[in-house]
């Protein structure tokens, strides 16, 4: 009985596009995060108190419109900031570290995937997960306030709603470059989570100490950066004791510098260095 060689049979199916592969990576990571008991626990706890406070403080009380000061007050409080940092630390912790630990990082780049596509996929998954607290709740609360207002000033309310959407988007993205950078520096997600939280906490502590000598030192505190950003966005301006130019540099630098270092780190790993 002879041996019949199998030979090569070309595959006639359609290849998935780059965007489809990126979406699948983001979606898979997002679903995995929602299955995490730690993430779900902090998310439920945060949403419960955030909506509870908002219902009694802003929605049930008589109001003519969505006041421009409501959202900065809501998103600028300590509870919202701490919960955002905790969730960002948990969500970003294994975003890249797990790929290094399991060697799946090599599989991502075994196909024609560039550094930009890989990072976009990771940003997409982490953004969707963190948006469950930093983006959607403030927007929903703003919509509820507009829907229950008694005054006719819907134009001003819709304008404030638009600024709320911008504030939620920026807040969600604000923590991701640093979180992903720290995750790319280790193979242990616990180290990455603690590293991000302690980095933010240390900056806040240093800013609070040295701001007694110069108020501009507060700009290394990420919570202060976001609070000033909210006030500027909603038309309250930048405090007089804060240098506006320095604020712009520090705020953009907190995003751009980790993002650049992250890109360099992933690119070098992808080429085997």
Checking if the pLDDT of 183 tops 90, the result is yes
Mean pLDDT is lowest, of 4-18, 172-186, 241-255, for 4-18
Question: Of 168 and 114, which is predicted with more confidence?
Answer: 168
11 occurs within a structural domain: no
Q: Any idea which of 92-101, 122-131, 132-141, 229-238 has the lowest mean pLDDT?
A: 92-101
The answer as to whether 3 is a domain residue is no
pLDDT band, very low/low/confident/very high, at 111 (cuts 50, 70, 90): low
Give the range among 20-24, 128-132, 241-245 with minimum mean pLDDT.
20-24
Q: Are 91 and 33 in contact (CB under 8 A)?
A: yes
Please state, in angstroms and rounded to a whole number, the distance separating the CA atoms of residues 83 and 53. 14
- Residue 213's SS3 state is coil
**Rounded mean pLDDT of 68-88?**
91
Closest to 157 (Cα-Cα) out of 255, 82, 213, 234: 234
Is residue 234 helix, strand or coil? Answer: coil
Taking 70 as the threshold, does the pLDDT of residue 158 lie above it?
yes
Residue count (the chain): 273
> Given pLDDT bands bounded at 50, 70 and 90, which one contains residue 272?
low
- pLDDT tens for 13-69 read 566 667 777 888 899 889 999 888 999 999 999 999 888 888 887 887 888 888 888
Residue 1 domain-assigned (yes or no): no
Is 5 domain-assigned? no
Q: Can you give the residue range of the structural domain that contains 91?
A: 18-270
What's the average model confidence in pLDDT over 120-149? Answer: 93
Would you place residue 173 in the very low, low, confident or very high pLDDT band (cuts 50, 70, 90)?
Answer: very high
Which tokens is 227 given?
Answer: 């609070």
Residues 83-105, mean pLDDT to the nearest whole number:
89
Please report where in the chains the tokens 């829907």 appear, as a residue.
147
Q: Are 234 and 72 in contact (CB under 8 A)?
A: yes
Say which residue, 199 or 105, is predicted with more confidence.
199
Quick count: other Cβ atoms within 10 Å of Cβ 91? 32
Residue 164 reports pLDDT greater than 90: yes
* Residue 73, domain member (yes or no): yes
Can you list the alpha helix ranges (DSSP code H) found in 154-221?
A: 154-174, 176-183, 189-210
- Long-range contact set of residues 141-145: C-beta below 8 Å, sequence gap at least 24: 141/50, 141/51, 141/54, 141/58, 141/59, 141/74, 142/66, 142/70, 142/71, 144/54, 144/59, 145/58, 145/59, 145/63, 145/66, 145/70
Closest CA to 150 of 65, 60, 54: 65
Identify whether 8 is part of a domain. Answer: no
Whether 247 shows a pLDDT value over 90: the answer reads: yes
Q: What is the pLDDT of residue 14?
A: 65
Q: What is the mean pLDDT of the chain?
A: 88
CB-CB neighbours of 120 under 10 Å = 17
Number of domains in the chain: 1
What was the pLDDT predicted at 15?
65
List the structure tokens of 14: 């359609």
Structure confidence at residue 84 (pLDDT): 94
Q: Which of 156, 178, 192 is nearest to 69 (CA)?
A: 156
Task: Look up the pTM and report it.
Answer: 0.88
Is the residue at 7 inside a domain?
no
Q: Is the pLDDT of residue 145 over 80?
A: yes
Residue 9 inside a domain? The answer is no
């Amino acid at each position: 009985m002879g041996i019949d060689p199998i030979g090569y049979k070309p595959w006639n199916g359609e290849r998935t596009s780059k965007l489809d592969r990126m979406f699948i990576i983001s979606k898979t990571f997002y679903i995995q995060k929602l299955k995490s008991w730690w993430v779900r626990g902090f998310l439920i706890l945060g949403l419960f108190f955030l909506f509870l406070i908002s219902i009694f403080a802003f929605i049930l009380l008589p109001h003519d419109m969505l006041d421009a000061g409501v959202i900065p007050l809501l998103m600028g409080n300590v509870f919202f900031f701490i919960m955002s940092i905790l969730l960002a630390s948990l969500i970003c912790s294994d975003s890249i570290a797990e790929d290094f630990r399991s060697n799946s990082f090599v599989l991502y780049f075994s196909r024609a995937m560039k550094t930009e596509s890989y990072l976009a996929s990771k940003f997409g998954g982490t953004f969707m997960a963190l948006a469950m607290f930093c983006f959607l709740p403030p927007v929903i609360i703003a919509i509820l306030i507009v829907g229950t207002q008694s005054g006719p000033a819907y134009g001003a309310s819709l304008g404030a709603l638009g600024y709320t959407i911008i504030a939620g988007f920026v807040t969600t993205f604000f923590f991701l470059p640093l979180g992903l950078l720290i995750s790319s520096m280790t193979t242990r997600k616990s180290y990455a989570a603690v590293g991000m939280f302690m980095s933010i906490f240390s900056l806040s502590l240093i800013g609070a100490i040295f701001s007694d000598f110069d108020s501009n030192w507060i700009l290394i505190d990420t919570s202060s950066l976001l609070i000033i950003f909210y006030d500027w966005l909603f038309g309250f301006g930048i405090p007089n004791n804060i240098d506006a130019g320095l604020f712009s540099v520090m705020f953009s630098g907190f995003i751009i510098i980790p993002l650049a270092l992250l890109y360099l780190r992933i690119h070098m790993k992808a080429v085997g260095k």
